[in-house]
C-alpha cells in the first residue's frame, strides 16, 4: 500500500508523500483512518525513521493528516483540505499586466522555458552558497539575532571595499543594506520624493520600476535609451521642460537592451544633472556580470548627487533578497528611517551568508563561473534566435539579456498567449516602455535563448513570417 521505488530518481520522502496523498484523495484511506506509527511504517517500507517523520510533517502541513498527541497520525477531515486547496488555487489578485508578469516570472507556474525571466537557471546557481557556509549559520547563532538596521557593519565594510576597488570612494557609513534593489528603489522614493514630483526613467527600462514609482504619486517622464546610453538630447529636453527631482537609470548591462553606457555618455548625464539640479539613481544590479571594469556615474560623481544601487540577487539566486544603497552621507538617516518604518531591519541570515561569501572569495569565483557560462550561452542563443527569424538588436557579448525584434507580420500579443499555452514565458517589449513603444520587441534571457522548445516555437511563428 505504501510502497516506494528505491531506484527511482525521486527521493524516497517525496515518493512517500505522493503515495499517501494519492491514497487519501482516492478514498482508500478515509477520513479518520489511523496511519501506521512512524517506526512501523519505516520498517514496512524499508526507509529511515527520519524519512517517515519528515513525510508526515509535510502531509500535516498540507492539511492531509492530523497529529494527535499520544495517539498517532490520522487522515484529516475533508473540510480542512478543501479550505487549504482554495487558498492554494486562489487566482492572481493583480489586474496589472506588469505585476502579473512579475509574479509569473518569479513563481514560474506551468512554465517550462522562462525565456522572459530576469533570473538565471537554478542549476547555474546550485553551488553559489557552499554547504560549509550554511553549516556555520547555526553555530554562529545567526537565527537568534536581529540584523543591525543599517546592515551588518562588517558586511558594509566589505561592500565599501568592493566599491573602492571599482574606483568609487565610499565609506561603510554611507551604505544601507536592503532586501534587493526593488526595496532600495522604494526606500529612495519614500525618503526623497513627494507627490507630483517629476521623475525621469529609461525608455525602455526596468519594467517594475514605473509601477513602484507611480505608487508614490510622482509624474513619470520617459527618456529614450540609445546604443551608447541615455539619449542626451532627450534628457536635456525632458529636464528643461519638467524640472525633474530625480532620474532613475541603468548604465551597465541595461535591462532590457543589454547595452552599457559609454564614459562620454556618463559624463553627459552628470553635466545635465548639475545644470538642471536633479538627483540620479544608478541601478547596478547586473554589473557583477560585466567581465571588465566599467565606468559608472557614481564613480565620476563620487556620490555627490548620485545614489548607487547594487544587488546580489541576480547572481546568487532569487532566494537571496539582498542589495544595498550607497548614498551621500547626509541622506543615509532618511533612508534608515524609511527602512525602519517599512521592514524594521534586514535579514541577519542573508547578511551573514553574503558576508562569508565576500570575505572568503567564493563570491568572486562564483561570478567568474557564471560569466563564463553566460558568454557561451549568449553566443548560442544569438545564433539560434536569428535562425528562428528574430533580429537581435545591438548585439553585445556580456550580460543576461538579448533585445530581439519580431518580424513585422507577427502579433506580439498573440505570440505571447500562444507561448504561455506552450509553457514558454515571453517578455513583450512594450512592457518595458512607458511611452508605449517597442511593441515589436522581446526581451530574451540568454540562458534560455537556445532552448529547442523556444526556438522551435519562435521558428514556427517568426521564421515563416520572414
* pLDDT at 28 (0 to 100): 87
What Rg do the C-alpha atoms of the chain give, in angstroms?
Answer: 25
Q: Write down the pLDDT at residue 297.
A: 97
Residue 426 gets the label, from left (phi > 0), alpha (psi -120 to 50) or beta, of beta
Was domain 131-360 assigned CATH 3.40.640.10? yes
Instruction: Compute mean pLDDT per 10 residues along the chain, 466 residues long, and list them.
Output: 77 86 86 90 87 86 83 78 42 60 68 92 90 79 84 97 93 97 96 97 96 95 96 98 98 95 96 98 95 88 96 93 96 96 92 95 94 94 95 84 95 93 94 94 96 96 68
Question: What DSSP string runs through 54-78?
Answer: HHHHHHHHTTSEEEETTTEEEEPPH
Predicted confidence at residue 127, as pLDDT, reads 87
Question: pTM to 2 decimals?
Answer: 0.80
Q: How many CB atoms lie within 10 A of CB 117?
A: 23
**DSSP single-letter state for residue 172:** G
pLDDT reported for residue 466: 53
Separation of alpha carbons 12 and 406, rounded Å:
46
Domain extents for the chain?
A: 12-88, 97-120+365-463, 131-360
At the top level of CATH, the class of 12-88 is mainly alpha
Closest CA to 224 of 438, 391, 10: 438
> Could you report how far apart the first and last alpha carbons of the chain are, in Å?
57
Could you tell me which CATH number the domain at 97-120+365-463 has?
Answer: 3.90.1150.10
Residue 3, Cβ neighbours under 10 Å: how many?
11
- Are 396 and 374 in contact by the 8 Å Cβ rule? The answer is no
The whole-number pLDDT of residue 404 equals: 96
- What confidence score (pLDDT) does residue 61 get? 79
Amino acid at each position: 500500500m505504501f510502497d516506494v521505488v528505491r531506484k527511482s530518481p525521486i527521493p524516497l520522502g517525496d515518493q512517500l508523500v505522493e503515495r499517501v496523498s494519492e491514497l487519501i484523495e482516492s478514498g482508500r484511506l478515509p477520513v479518520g483512518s489511523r496511519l501506521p506509527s512512524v517506526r512501523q511504517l519505516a520498517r514496512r517500507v524499508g526507509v529511515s525513521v527520519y524519512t517517515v517523520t519528515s513525510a508526515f510533517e509535510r502531509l500535516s502541513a498540507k492539511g492531509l493528516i492530523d497529529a494527535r498527541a499520544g495517539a498517532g497520525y490520522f487522515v484529516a477531515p475533508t473540510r480542512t483540505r478543501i479550505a487549504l486547496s482554495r487558498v492554494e488555487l486562489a487566482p492572481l489578485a493583480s489586474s496589472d499586466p506588469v505585476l502579473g508578469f512579475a509574479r509569473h516570472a518569479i513563481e514560474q507556474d506551468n512554465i517550462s522555458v522562462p525565456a522572459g525571466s530576469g533570473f538565471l537557471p537554478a542549476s547555474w546557481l546550485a553551488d553559489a552558497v557552499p554547504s560549509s557556509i550554511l553549516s556555520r549559520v547555526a553555530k554562529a547563532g545567526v537565527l537568534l539575532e536581529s540584523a543591525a538596521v543599517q546592515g551588518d557593519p562588517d558586511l558594509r565594510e566589505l561592500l565599501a571595499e568592493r566599491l573602492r576597488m571599482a574606483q568609487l570612494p565610499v565609506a561603510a557609513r554611507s551604505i544601507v543594506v536592503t532586501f534587493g534593489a526593488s526595496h532600495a528603489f522604494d526606500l529612495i522614493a519614500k525618503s526623497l520624493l513627494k507627490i507630483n514630483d517629476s521623475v525621469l526613467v529609461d525608455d525602455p527600462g526596468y519594467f517594475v520600476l514605473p509601477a513602484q514609482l507611480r505608487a508614490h504619486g510622482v509624474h513619470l517622464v520617459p527618456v529614450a535609451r540609445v546604443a551608447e546610453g541615455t539619449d542626451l538630447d532627450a534628457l536635456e529636453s525632458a529636464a528643461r521642460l519638467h524640472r525633474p527631482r530625480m532620474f532613475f537609470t541603468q548604465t551597465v548591462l541595461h535591462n532590457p537592451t543589454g547595452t552599457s553606457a559609454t564614459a562620454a555618455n556618463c559624463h553627459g548625464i552628470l553635466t545635465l544633472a548639475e545644470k538642471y539640479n536633479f538627483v540620479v539613481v544608478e541601478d547596478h544590479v547586473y554589473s557583477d556580470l560585466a567581465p571588465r571594469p566599467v565606468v559608472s556615474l557614481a564613480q565620476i560623481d563620487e556620490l555627490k548627487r548620485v545614489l548607487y544601487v547594487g544587488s546580489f540577487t541576480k547572481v546568487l539566486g532569487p532566494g537571496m533578497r539582498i542589495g544595498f544603497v550607497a548614498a551621500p552621507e547626509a541622506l543615509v538617516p532618511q533612508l534608515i528611517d524609511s527602512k525602519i518604518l517599512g521592514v524594521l531591519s534586514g535579514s541577519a541570515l542573508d547578511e551573514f551568508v553574503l558576508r562569508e561569501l565576500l570575505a572568503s572569495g567564493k563570491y568572486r569565483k562564483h561570478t567568474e563561473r557564471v560569466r563564463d557560462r553566460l558568454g557561451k550561452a549568449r553566443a548560442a542563443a544569438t545564433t539560434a534566435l536569428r535562425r528562428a527569424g528574430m533580429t537581435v538588436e545591438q548585439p553585445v557579448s556580456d550580460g543576461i539579456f538579448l533585445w530581439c525584434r519580431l518580424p513585422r507580420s507577427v502579433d506580439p500579443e498573440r505570440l505571447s498567449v500562444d507561448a504561455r499555452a506552450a509553457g514558454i514565458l515571453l517578455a513583450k517589449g512594450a512592457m518595458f516602455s512607458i511611452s508605449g513603444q517597442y511593441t515589436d520587441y522581446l526581451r530574451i534571457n540568454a540562458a534560455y535563448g537556445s532552448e529547442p522548445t523556444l526556438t522551435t516555437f519562435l521558428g514556427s511563428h517568426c521564421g515563416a513570417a520572414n
